[in-house]
Amino acid sequence: MVQKTDKIWFDGKLVPWDEANVHVLTHTLHYGVGVFEGIRAYKTVDGRSAVYRLKEHVKRLFDSARIMEMKVPHSEEDIVKAIVETLQANQLAEAYIRPLMFIGDGVMGVHPGKNPIRTIVATWFWGAYLGEEALKKGIRIKTSTFTRHHVNVMMTKAKACGNYVNSVLAKMEAVADGYDEALMLDTSGYVSECTGENIFLVRNGVIKTPPLTSILAGITRESMIKLARELGYEVVEERFTRDELYSADEAFLTGTAAELTPIREVDRRRIGKGEAGPVALHLQKEYFKIVTGDNAAHADWLHYYTV
């Protein structure tokens, strides 16, 4: 369950959580055209709090809105300020942050006409997305029967609400079959991503991840690639098949919610030793140093605020 907080920022004003409501004829509720982000704030080693890569997330939010032809009545700076304001109003030193832009009520039918574009920012405490044990021991995933979107079917570079119907179906299928997460292939049969995370494998010391073809350009993905290269690992962005994943020494997922989650099993096949591997754990350790301000080399990735 989402942990309820006091306030949600809604169209420029902080309102009580229970009053952040919309009409049942809200266009996005019916047709799925909306965009959102998932962002995290961490308590840092010096006692302050910081939002991780806030400006990059807000830029992607606006890029998604542009792709979806949504004319947002706010600037990127407005949303950056709104996020900090909401964190402070809820007195959250650590938090998950969900900004959402959606089409309000007015006309019905597929074309949204001049319906207003509405914006909310919600914040709450959210621990490890796939569980604390998952971060330490790794998770089990299965290849979904649902294929990831083709680039001419949906706008795959937009973090759009409707895109996630695909993810919801795949996730429910995986969980019903006893797995933690679903692996999704692209329309050519190559490994794409998971329902809300990017995927990496490690083989013979080389880290590999799918290229930015049909996948969402993950901000944590980008961070991990930079970090791995700084730590001396070779990182390759190229297509690979699921049987290459089966024979990998290690595999892991990255995402704002998932952070860096190791994979111990894919489709009943043990990956490596069937546990979190040394490369994944090394990167995970260094990643947590960055998000908590314990690595000065990436201080520019943190947006500090006071509670």
Is the entire prediction scored with pTM above 0.75?
Answer: yes
pLDDT tens-digit map of 17-43: 999 999 999 999 999 999 999 999 999
pLDDT of 267 > 80? The answer is yes
In the three-class reduction of DSSP (H, G, I as helix; E, B as strand; rest coil), residue 97 is classed as: strand
- pLDDT, residue 37, reads 98
Percent of the chain beyond pLDDT 90? 95
pLDDT tens-digit map of 121-176: 999 998 877 778 889 899 999 999 999 999 999 999 999 999 999 999 999 999 99
- pLDDT, residue 225, reads 98
59 is catalytic: no
> What does the DSSP assignment read for 232-296?
T-EEEE----HHHHHT-SEEEEEETTTEEEEEEEETTEEPTTTS--HHHHHHHHHHHHHHTT--G
Q: Do 61 and 99 meet the contact criterion of CB atoms below 8 Å apart?
A: yes
- pLDDT, residue 78, reads 98
Tell me which of 105 and 134 has the higher pLDDT.
105
Burial of 212 (0-12, 13-18, 19+ CB in 10 A): middle
- pLDDT, residue 209, reads 98
- pLDDT, residue 58, reads 98
User: Cα separation of 104 and 267, whole Å?
Assistant: 42
User: Cα separation of 217 and 224, whole Å?
Assistant: 12
- pLDDT, residue 279, reads 98
pLDDT of 75 > 90? The answer is yes
Q: Given the residues 7, 142, 159, 171, select the one marked as catalytic.
A: 159
- In this prediction, residues 59-66 reach a mean pLDDT of 98
Q: State the greatest distance between any 2 C-alpha atoms of the chain, in Å, as a whole number.
A: 57
User: Cα separation of 281 and 13, whole Å?
Assistant: 42
pLDDT of 101 > 80? The answer is yes
Q: How many residues can be counted in the chain?
A: 307
Run of H or E including 84: helix 76-89
- pLDDT, residue 2, reads 87
Average pLDDT, the chain: 96
Structure tokens at 205: 């010391």
pLDDT tens-digit map of 283-294: 999 999 999 999
